[in-house]
Chain A
């Protein structure tokens, strides 16, 4: 069967563009790492350094991983006056790269996780040792994580929620997954998972209020 060359050209266009449009219609299309296939903004996820991309800014990294920008700049010998809005890939030097930053952040996270294991397992012991304090009134030792007014904010950590007496199960039910490193900021974790922080915050606050 003979094919007219002009018709052949039309077929090429139909097949090529048709396949692409078909995938797009099915939602299988993304042209940027900054936007997921569902159209949501991609953010770095606290505790998961592999989610760091070159286009992310120093500010994003600092906020998500709780590292002062000054520490990053000092660690990698970058100019102290570097703008926080600079993409990390634009700062690449012999010493600084996305890979090096990931490794460094990962190493920083390791020691932070170790005490959590201790604190979780040591919780009952603390309760026992605190018993004499009832008979001998001693001013409570202020904990590093405990906020004074028990209000869930953008800086509240999972450790603080646990310290306020919210059961682990209840927190996990609200966030829809296991609690990651307890030193992690709730907002970072929640936004990293693509959830709305205000909604989660309201639910957690109601749990906090119930325990008061």
Chain B
């Protein structure tokens, strides 16, 4: 944890020094991508290994589903009430990883979503591809600009759609507790992706396709509107002592932070960013051109001071 003393406060509000050479890569953004890539590679390794070895082999391989924290949430009720039993497709590892996600949320907000979640990373990759193509294909750029012209309608829709994830959370957890199996699994795009080797056309496969296509238009559509794990993590993150602080005195309201936010949060209008939708990716901090205008702070939970 680094604290800044007098010299930085003098720099507050000034434009950040331009980085050259390798220093351009030595940023938290690069570090975040490396972490995301590492976890995604690990999951990919599990998928391939499990598909190659197979279920009926003498060698026991872990199914990639055993590393899904949401599985832990779905099985938690049965695990507690039955004294250690699990709903199908879940194991102790799911519960342990869920605890890790919740502890991370409690201490560092929804950092799991922004720094670790492979499904979030996949959406980031597609959104980056979309930006790349827009820069190179003028017709595509114009089409997206035309869509953005209807921003008012989108923002109203966006506002209400964000509550969907809480409904999904209640349905998935309560349904699993009531019926004793994962009611959400057939609709879960992540479960579909993990079981791609044994593909079947489930609602989850359709939802996955919709998400991948939607990621071209909207950044992180699954995280914004439908991810039940993000909903839990975001709510718990409200209790975290970590928050983002925008300094009015240093900020020139250039809105680069808002444009950089993959969750579409209005960072430039907030004083402290404690939204449950914030995934703590710190893209806004990286995009901010001024020293001390937007920083990660450690303070008292809830009040953010």
**By the criterion CB–CB under 8 Å, are B56 and A6 in contact?**
no
CA distance A90 to B55 in the complex (A): 10
B107 within 8 Å of A by Cβ? yes
Contact of A15 (CB < 8 Å), options: B4, B56, B107, B282: B107
Contact B1–A16 (Cβ < 8 Å): no
Indicate the member of B3, B96, B116, B297 with the most A CB atoms within 10 Å: B96
Interface of B toward A, CB cutoff 8 Å: 1-4, 27-28, 31-32, 35, 55-56, 60-63, 66-67, 86, 88, 91-93, 96-97, 99-101, 103-104, 107-108, 111-112, 115-116, 242, 280, 282, 285-286, 295-299
| B92 engages A30 (CB within 8 Å) | yes
A112 to B69, CA, bound (A): 43
Query: Is there contact, CB below 8 Å, between B66 and A3?
Result: no
Given known contacts A1-B297, A2-B296, A32-B66, is B115 in contact with A12 (CB within 8 Å)?
yes
| Cβ contact within 8 Å between B1 and A9 | no
Complex: A85 Cα to B61 Cα, angstroms? 18
Q: Which residues of B contact A89 (CB under 8 A)?
A: 55
Taking the closest CB of chain B, its distance from the CB of A103, in whole angstroms, is: 15
Query: Please, which residues of chain A bring their CB within 8 A of the CB of B296?
Result: 2-5, 8
A55 B2 Cβ-Cβ under 8 A? no
Whole-angstrom CA separation of A104 from B67 in the bound complex: 33
CB <8 Å contact, B2 and A2: yes
Given contacts A31-B66, A31-B91, A32-B62, contact A2 B295 (CB under 8 A): yes
- Measured in the bound complex, the distance between the Cα atoms of B103 and A7 in whole Å is 18
Expressed in whole angstroms, the Cα–Cα distance for A30 and B71 within the complex equals 14
User: What are the interface flags for A1-45 relative to B under an 8 Å C-beta threshold, 1 for contact and 0 otherwise?
Assistant: 111111111011101110110011000111111110100000000
> Are B112 and A16 in touch, CB under 8 angstroms?
yes
Alpha-carbon distance between A193 and B67 when the two chains are bound, in angstroms: 28
- CB closest residue in chain B, given A18: B100
Q: What's the Cα separation between A4 and B63 when bound, in Å?
A: 36
What's the least CB distance linking A41 to chain B, in Å? 9
A-B contact pairs, 28 of them (CB 8 A): A1-B299, A2-B2, A2-B4, A2-B295, A2-B296, A3-B2, A3-B298, A5-B286, A6-B31, A7-B2, A8-B282, A9-B31, A11-B107, A12-B108, A15-B103, A15-B104, A15-B108, A16-B103, A16-B116, A20-B97, A23-B96, A30-B93, A31-B62, A32-B60, A34-B60, A35-B60, A55-B56, A85-B56
Residues of chain B contacted by A34 (CB below 8 angstroms): 60
A172 at the interface (CB under 8 A from B): no
B-facing residues in A38-93 (Cβ within 8 Å): 54-55, 57, 85-87, 89-90
With A1-B298, A30-B91, A31-B62 known as contacts, the answer to whether A8 contacts B108 (CB < 8 A) is: yes
With a cutoff of 8 Å between Cβ atoms, the chain B residues found around residue A55 in the complex are 55-56
Q: Which residue of A lies closest to B286 (CB)?
A: A5
State which of A5, A31, A37 has its C-beta within 8 Å of the C-beta of B28: A5
With most chain A CB atoms within 10 A of its CB, the pick from B32, B100, B298 is B100
A-B contact count (CB 8 A): 118
Which chain B residues lie closer than 8 Å to A86 at the CB level? 56
Contact A87/B56 with A6-B31, A31-B66, A31-B93 known, Cβ cut-off 8 Å? yes
B99 touches A19 (CB 8 A): yes
A11 and B2 CA atoms in complex are apart in Å by 12
Q: How far is the CA of A85 from the CA of B54 in the complex (A)?
A: 13
Complex contacts, A31 vs chain B, CB 8 Å: 62-63, 66-67, 91-93
Given contacts A2-B298, A9-B115, 20 further A-B contacts (CB under 8 A): A2-B4, A3-B297, A7-B2, A8-B242, A9-B31, A9-B32, A12-B35, A12-B116, A15-B104, A15-B107, A16-B101, A19-B100, A24-B96, A30-B93, A31-B93, A33-B86, A55-B55, A55-B56, A87-B55, A90-B55
CB <8 Å contact, A2 and B3 = yes
B1 touches which one: A3, A19, A20, A24 (CB < 8 A)? A3
Q: In the complex, which residue of chain A has the Cβ closest to the Cβ of B92?
A: A30
A12, closest chain B residue (CB): B111
Give the shortest distance, in Å, between B88 (CB) and chain A (any CB): 8
Q: A2-B295, A2-B297, A19-B99 are in contact. Are A12 and B104 (CB under 8 A)?
A: yes
Q: Which residues of B contact A4 (CB under 8 A)?
A: 1-2, 296
A29 to B97, CA, bound (A): 10
A57 touches which one: B56, B96, B108, B116 (CB < 8 A)? B56
Cβ–Cβ contact A3 & B242, under 8 A: yes
- Nearest-Cβ distance from residue A37 to partner chain B, whole angstroms: 6
Residue of B nearest to A5 (CB): B28
Which residue of chain B lies nearest to A89 when distances are taken between CB atoms in the complex? Answer: B55
**A-B interface, 9 closest residue pairs, ranked by CB to CB distance from nearest:** A5-B28, A31-B62, A19-B100, A4-B2, A30-B92, A12-B111, A31-B66, A3-B296, A1-B298
